[in-house]
Each structure stands twice: as C-alpha cells, then as structure tokens.
Amino acid sequence: MNPVRLFFQPIRLFQLPAFNKVNFNSTTHLWMLILVISAGSCKSDQADTPASQQGTIEKPNIVFILADDQRSHTIHALGNQEIITPTLDQLVKTGTVFDNTYIMGAMNGAVCAPSRAMIMTGRALFNIDPTGNTIYPSQVTLPKTLEKAGYHTFHIGKWHNGTPAFKRSFTDGSKIFFGGMHRQYQVPTYEYRAGGDYEKETMNVPSDKHSSELYADAGIEFINSYTDDKPFFMYMALQAPHDPREMPQEYLDMYDLDNISLPPNFMAEHPFDNGEIDIRDEWLAGYPRTPDEVKANIAAYYAMITHLDFHIGRVIKTLEEKGMMQNTIIVFTGDNGLAVGQHGLLGKQNLYEHSIKVPLIIKGPGIAANTIKDDFAYLFDIYPTLCAMTGIPIPETVQGEVLPVNDKIEAQAREGMFFAYKNFQRAARTGDWKIIKYNVDNKVRTQLFNIKNDPFETRDLASNDEYAKDLENMNSVLVEQMIQNKDKANLDKSGWGVPVLKAWKDKTPPDVVAHLRILAEKEREMRGFGEK
C-alpha cells in the first residue's frame, strides 16, 4: 500500500446563491480543489468512530451505478462508434475516465460475485472469499464505512454476496434482488427490512417492468423523497446487460445487423481448451461461431446497454431537478467484461481484455472534466478513492489504492496488474505487455501479447524468438505478482501445486445443467438461431 494517501475536500461553493445559477451540465469547470497530502497512511482507527466525532464538514452524496457484464469499449464517446450511449457520453465529458480498469478475476464461473465482493470490501481476490458467495464479517464494507461517517446508505438491485453481508452493510433499500441472474422481467425483489429476514412471503409482487426501469424508478423515488440532512450513498446494482438479452423492441430496432462490425479477434472457436470452454455463458451461440449469430448477439448486447443508458439518464436528470448534482459524486462501472464472440468465446470465464477490462467513470466536485487517465486500476480501488474524496479514513481492512481523480496527481498507483481464473488460468500485465498462462489437465500453455500494438490480442508472440526476453521478463512479473497477491499456485509445480477446481458443468447438478441448456437455447431462438 502506498504510504501517501490523498484527501480531497471540495470547497462548499454550492452554498453561495450566485453559484447555484451556474449550469453544471456544461464542460466549464468552476470547482476549486484543496489538496491535503498526508505523510502517513490515512488508514486509521477513526474508521470505527461515530460520525458525530469525525467533524462536521459537509460531505457530498454518492451515486454508485454498477452495470452487470458491461465490458470496456461499450461507450460511444470512448471510441465505439456503433453503440448509442448519450448519458454515458455526457458522464465522460463531465468526469474522469480510468481507461485501464480491470477486475482481478474469480475462483468460480459466476465472475460477478467475487468482483462485487471486491468492490464492497476494497480487497483483492485471494483476500476475500474468492467465490464471492459471502463477505467475511471482519471485512468492513464500503456502505458500512460510509454509514459510520454519517451517510444514509441505500441499496437498489442485485446483491450477489449473501444475505448476512447485505444486512451488515446497508441501512435502507428498495427493489433488492438476492441472486446472480434472472430474466429481465418479473424479477423477485424485496423492500428493505431492518433486522428482518428476506423470506419468500415478504417478497414484492413481481413487476412487468424491465429490471433497468424497475431499478431506475426506485432510484428516482428515493432521490425525490429524500429529505434527511445526512449525505446519502445510493448503490444501484443493475442486472443489464447480463443475459437473457431482453429489452423493449424499440431499442433492438436501433441496431441494423448490416452496420454491426465483427470484432478483429472474431474466431469460429477458441484455438485450445482454456479449462472452461463448456459453460452456460458459452451456450448462447452455436458451435462453431458464425458471423451472423455473433453480430446478432452484439446487437442485442448493445441494445441492452442503450436501454440501460436511457434509464441511468432518468436518474441523473432527477438529481439535476432536485439541485443535487453540484454536491454529488457519480461512479459508473461494470462488474466484469464479456467476450460476445471475441476469441471464439461468448462469456467472461477467461483473462482476455474483453472479459477483465471494464469502464470506470467518476464525476463530481473536485474531479477533472473530460479527462481520460491510463493509470492501472482495479475495481476495488474505488472504495479507498471514495474515502479519500470524502475525507473519511480508510479502514485497515482495505487493500485498494487511491486513484488520481485530479490532473494534479500524475503518479501511477500501480506498475503491474495480476489476474486469475480458477486454478488453471493466470495472467499479468505491466506497461504494454501481457502474459496469460493456462494449466489444463497438466498441459501448460503460454500467450504473450503487446497490448499497445495489439489491443484485441490477435498475435501471440510467446513462440517468437524475437520476443524471448520480453517473455522471460513477463514470466518473472507474473511470479512476482502471484506472490504479492498471496496466490497459492506455484508455476514450477505439477498442476501448479493447487487442487483441481472442477469445470462448472462437472460440479453443477445434472438437472440444473439441463435446465440451463434449455434456457440458452431459448435465448438463441430470440436471436433467430438454434432449433425451432
């Protein structure tokens, strides 16, 4: 952990009458920043001190919007000319983008569960329950830290880390979905029950609204009715654009398949067994992959994101109408990426860029507008960054780094990145280089990519003698990163010295596998493919 922590406190100019007349949607930046550099770690026992004893400085509201399965390169303003995202485009223009943001990985097929647990705890993969099914009571969650600092904490949408952890973390909420995935309509949700259980008999009547609309409506209702003097933390955890790829037809109609490009790394099939080829996510298109079916999946994926973008816009408009934007931090990101036809894959159970790299936009007081940063970042860096931005001490349990949310901070927090999927995939990135290793049935395979020259990872340089030194260096980087991140795998041992983790379909009950195959086939039929 970097011993120097950065705290940001926006001057409360929003209290001045003249300042309230400014159009905050423009790209003109009228914020001043006080930068206080602490010579030591800002982690402190004050994290457990009640808000009444932490001073009376007014803090900004926080709206944290988390998309499900939205990969990097799915925002028009960031270079994807085929997708329609006017709301996210505006966030890009008025906030700071961290263009090298990653998840660390997962030890199970439901990659989103540990990803969300890392966001909530600010901790790395091998320092949480790596399946994400639980959050240990000793690990202080982000909403709990904010609550102790005087925030009203409100959850909307998906919670994939166990009911006990939820009950420890939030003080309020609405339309809460406990689970990993569900169709986009008729979602089983609950209203917040202080100290109560979430049993079937207390469930809301399922709604005919699409999940994105349902959750946005809950956010709008909360904002419109909020009258407390406390700042609030609203965590809106969405289901879209996770499959099933359902959305109102008008959004799908926005995308003509003739205008959808195949990705440069499109393949009919993955060139080798990566350990998790046969999994539910991969059944959403036929084998071998065809250009037409992949394009249809991309169009539906984009349509879900455009629909999601519209409803995020409704929430932001409500903040503007209530006069809250000038004192609200907005965070937008995704819990993991998705292949959708790249490298012959459909899912996220791999360590290619398309599945581990996600968008991250932060907007608010003291944050530079229309700025793109290339600093390496993990999603679990958001937790300490929000603490720094609000002047809240970072709990000792948090391992993430504070991100440079202002141009005055030029130092890159991380020199390298580490990634893992189960016990048969490992990867590391530093500078322009990335290495991926596989160990499937004790057969080891290595890939080497230059991400700057080959962002779609189409040219494996591992067997090219010209890059032998780069390969040797990246092997060393990977070993070092594994040690730093407390990975028990050892690349020098047979089977990497760790237990074999079964493929998803081999540990899932056969009846469940059969049911999910039927659902995947129905998804294909929605796109006009598969058996009819």
Yes or no: say if 97 and 372 are a contact pair by the CB < 8 Å rule: yes
Yes or no: say if 470 and 486 are a contact pair by the CB < 8 Å rule: no
CA separation for the pair 292, 299 (Å, rounded): 11
pLDDT of 334 above 50:
yes
Q: Do 61-414 and 421-501 share a fold?
A: no
Q: Which residues contact 235 (CB under 8 A, 6 or more apart)?
A: 64, 66, 143, 153, 154, 155, 156, 170
pLDDT digits (tens, 9 = 90+) for 303-328: 999 999 999 999 999 999 999 999 99
Tokens linked to 194: 């202080």
Question: What is 62-97 written as a DSSP string?
Answer: EEEEEESS--SS--GGGT-TTS--HHHHHHHHHSEE
pLDDT for the residue 409: 54
pLDDT for the residue 197: 86
DSSP 190: B
Instruction: Using alpha carbons only, give the angle 266, 114, 315 rounded to the nearest 5 degrees.
Output: 80
pLDDT digits (tens, 9 = 90+) for 155-213: 999 999 999 999 999 999 999 999 988 999 999 999 999 877 898 889 999 999 999 99
Domain borders along the chain are 61-414, 421-501
Rg value, the chain, Cα: 22
Q: Which residue, chain included where needed, has tokens 């359902």? A: 246
Is the domain spanning 61-414 CATH 3.40.720.10? The answer is yes
pLDDT of 82 above 90:
yes
261-275, 346-360, 494-508: least confidently modelled range:
494-508
CA separation for the pair 394, 160 (Å, rounded): 24
pLDDT for the residue 412: 56
Yes or no: say if 3 and 40 are a contact pair by the CB < 8 Å rule: yes
pLDDT for the residue 408: 58
pLDDT digits (tens, 9 = 90+) for 412-459: 578 899 999 999 999 999 999 999 999 999 999 999 999 999 999 999
* CATH code at 421-501: 3.30.1120.10
Report the predicted TM-score, pTM, of the whole model to 2 decimal places: 0.88
Which band of pLDDT confidence, cut at 50, 70 and 90, is reported for residue 22?
very low
